Chain A
Amino acid sequence: MADFFQTLIATIAVGSLYALVALGYTLVYGILKFINFAHSDIFVLGAWTTFAGSTVFLTKFGYEPEQSPWWLGVCVLLLAIFVCGLTGYLIERFAYRPLRKAPRLNVLITAIGVSLLLQNVGQLPGLALVRGPERVVTKPADQLTDREKSTNPEIAGDTATIREPGEALATLPFGSSPKRAPTILPDAVLNETVVASGTSKGGAKRGVIVLDQAIELVPDRGYRLEIARTIDGQPRRESLNLAVEPGKYEAGVELATQPRRNPADLDGARYTLVRDPLVPIRLLDVLIVASSLVLMAGLQVLVFRTKLGSAMRAVSFNVDTASLMGINVNFVISFTFVLGTALAAAAAFLYAMKYPSLQQPASGVWVLLGLKAFVAAVVGGIGNVRGAVLGGFLIAGIEFFGARYISTELRDVYVFGLLIVVLLVRPNGLLGSAVREKV
């Protein structure tokens, strides 16, 4: 049962991300009637901008990843949206607009070209945006290797000092190796239970706590010890695992923790002992779902309740007549395009927070991810805003439940299988209206 709910939570969180990306596909398809193959690359751009942006901001403002203030996350999100939106605008303006009246196949091929271009430019070796600390090596002057000699070492007597620039933490373009995005959104398990709290006793290698009340540690559940300390005037929290068997423990008993990596005095620090919940609900997942829902609701209002929204729908129905209404068609198309890319950027930001290990930009993983979002749009009925959202959750559901209960290796097969089945049964998708081609 716990498994089921965990899978359900993953489905909802990832499904809302799929839905955001699917909305981008659907918006562009609705208005320009072609698959924007470059959309998944915009998503990649968003994820890597998140990585580069948060690395740069953290270094420049001097914050530790998990202790960064909330506005840093907002800044990075806005940066990702700006970069993706601008790229999206340029793509539409220079690659797609000249082909507005061309056969759709040509536009499709151009989209593939744009996609390949973004991927491969994205992983060119880049210029460093920020570097880590400079590396200084001192060694006897006669032991220098040729490579070290070429870096102009400072030689004072027998010793040589080699100064090497620090490792490039983030580059532009992003380079061809996977990186790990720093966590800049707050994350915690929301529904964990505090079992005990009190004062820690210290201990050099292992932390030791003295229980001030009797507790029972049940098997099969994780326990985590949170110790709050102050280092250099900064509050720090340390998480430790207990090294004791499950069972009942009386007040006053001393419990040891697992060995610690950085031994420091824990004596007198406050501790809390928390029990992991059966089905952990993470703050990050809640943030992801909440912000996705806000964006989707906003989009729904924009498309169906505003003047610009009806202009978008009018352009999607008939470009020529829309322009007779005084609608600047080029503006509306560019706007829709930028809107779709902005949604992808937001999704990419949230994705990079949830799955911080980012593959290199041209990795097949990304294309597959984009394809799944596209499948979500098609399954829901492409061109249909609500369909994209439904499709996103449906695809995530079949992927995660299939992976959990049938076989992990086949997760991509389920998704494409669902696509084929849906297209055969309802060629216009679940919520798509039947569009008959004019004779």
Chain B
Amino acid sequence: MSAAHTDDNPAKLAEQHIRPNTGDGPVMLQVSDLHMAYGAIRALHGVDLTVRQGQIVTLIGCNGAGKSTTLRSISGMCKPQRGKITLEGREILGLPSHAMVRLGMAHSPEGRGIFANLTVEENLELGAFARRDKSGIAADRERALTLFPRVRERMKQMAGTLSGGEQQMLAMARALMARPRLLLLDEPSLGLAPQIVQTIFKIIREINAAGTTVLLVEQNAHMALNIAHFGYVLEVGRIVMARPAKELAASDEVRKAYLGGH
């Protein structure tokens, strides 16, 4: 039947577009066969992805493709029905979000998740909530504030009074305060002026250069693929493409669908 038409066979198609993330580093995060539904609405239909240590891996796709749901499942904010998630070889599916932080994962959520009723400083300190090492926290705080000098200027202000870009910087600085080995970033460029987006992506690269693995969810595919090592394309809850970022950026399908090319 359909197996005869090799060109239309989805499995065959997938084989062409989906390649395993084979890098040098050991596997940091492994997601396999993730299924997630909100009530009757199915958001993920078996997502597989791999993040290797030291990489920036990006997950791109349109609105409603399931990017945020994937991140939320990884960090324990929603409970997938089926699948397997391992962090450095350890099964983490089903653990509560707050436990993930102790395992070395930080998630900067979509919409930034700033606590508007707290000062910038308190926000930053909450990032290190799970940690006990005072000197280490102080050092990370210095490091985060050096990366984001704008945040330092606003320390005593209520976080709700910050501008969008400043809030995004605060959210990332706050995530760094947990000293994560894996940083999940959900749409850091959302609603920001292009110039600030540039800065943000520059800093993501710096963070990665300093040794933090990054899983980046973005609608701004151009910027994301520019800094990433490996990329996944998500469509209606399925991974449809997985290739090194350079190749993805060059491929016709991605250029057409996500980069505005013709």
Contacts and interface: CB of A to CB of B under 8 A. Distances in A.
Q: When A and B assemble into the complex, do they touch directly, with CB atoms less than 8 Å apart?
A: yes
Given A325-B178, A327-B98, 13 more contacts: A307-B129, A310-B125, A313-B115, A314-B118, A314-B126, A316-B117, A320-B77, A322-B115, A323-B98, A325-B129, A326-B101, A327-B129, A328-B96
Nearest to A308: B129
B109 A324 contact: yes
Contact of B97 (A311, A314, A324): A324
Contacts of B244: none
A283 B75 CA distance: 56
A329 B77 contact: no
B64 interface: no
B113 A318 contact: yes
B115 A318 contact: yes
Nearest to B75: A324
B129 A317 contact: no
A300 interface: no
Contacts of B115: 313-314, 317-318, 321-322
B161 to A, nearest CB: 13
Among B76, B96, B100, B117, residue most surrounded by chain A Cβ atoms (within 10 Å): B117
Interface in B83-111: 96-98, 100-102, 106-107, 109
B178 to A, nearest CB: 7
A322 B125 CA distance: 12
16 contacts: A307-B125, A310-B122, A310-B125, A313-B115, A314-B115, A314-B118, A317-B117, A321-B109, A324-B101, A324-B113, A325-B98, A325-B101, A325-B127, A325-B174, A326-B102, A327-B126
B109 A323 contact: no
A110 B11 CA distance: 52
Contact of A313 (B102, B118, B129): B118
A316 B174 CA distance: 18
Nearest to A330: B96
B112 to A, nearest CB: 9
Among A316, A321, A323, residue most surrounded by chain B Cβ atoms (within 10 Å): A321
Interface residues of A, number: 18
B109 A317 contact: no
Contacts of A325: 98, 101, 126-127, 129-130, 174, 178
Contact of A323 (B96, B127, B174): B96
A326 B130 contact: yes
B250 interface: no
Contact of A326 (B113, B116, B118, B129): B129
Nearest to A324: B107
Contacts of A321: 109, 113, 115
B77 A323 contact: yes
Nearest to A323: B97
Nearest to A331: B98
Interface pairs A-B: 4 shortest CB-CB: A326-B130, A326-B101, A321-B113, A323-B97
Contacts of B118: 310, 313-314, 317
Contacts of A310: 118, 122, 125-126
A434 to B, nearest CB: 12
A389 B130 CA distance: 32
Contacts of A327: 98, 126, 129
A391 to B, nearest CB: 19
A21 B98 CA distance: 31
A324 B99 CA distance: 9
A324 B96 contact: no
Among A313, A323, A324, A328, residue most surrounded by chain B Cβ atoms (within 10 Å): A324
A325 B108 CA distance: 9
Interface string A337-359: 00000000000000000000000
Nearest to A315: B115
A324 B100 CA distance: 8
Contacts of A328: 96, 98
Nearest to A332: B98
Interface string B160-196: 0000000000000010001000000000000000000
Contacts of B130: 325-326
Given A321-B109, A323-B96, A328-B98, A311 B117 contact: no
B215 to A, nearest CB: 14
Given A324-B109, A326-B129, A313 B117 contact: yes
A238 B101 CA distance: 66
A325 B96 CA distance: 12
Contacts of B98: 323-329
A327 B129 CA distance: 7
A320 B109 contact: yes
Interface in B187-240: none
Interface string A274-318: 000000000000000000000000000000000100110110111
A311 B77 contact: no
B130 to A, nearest CB: 3
A410 B106 CA distance: 57
Contacts of A322: 115, 126
B60 to A, nearest CB: 22
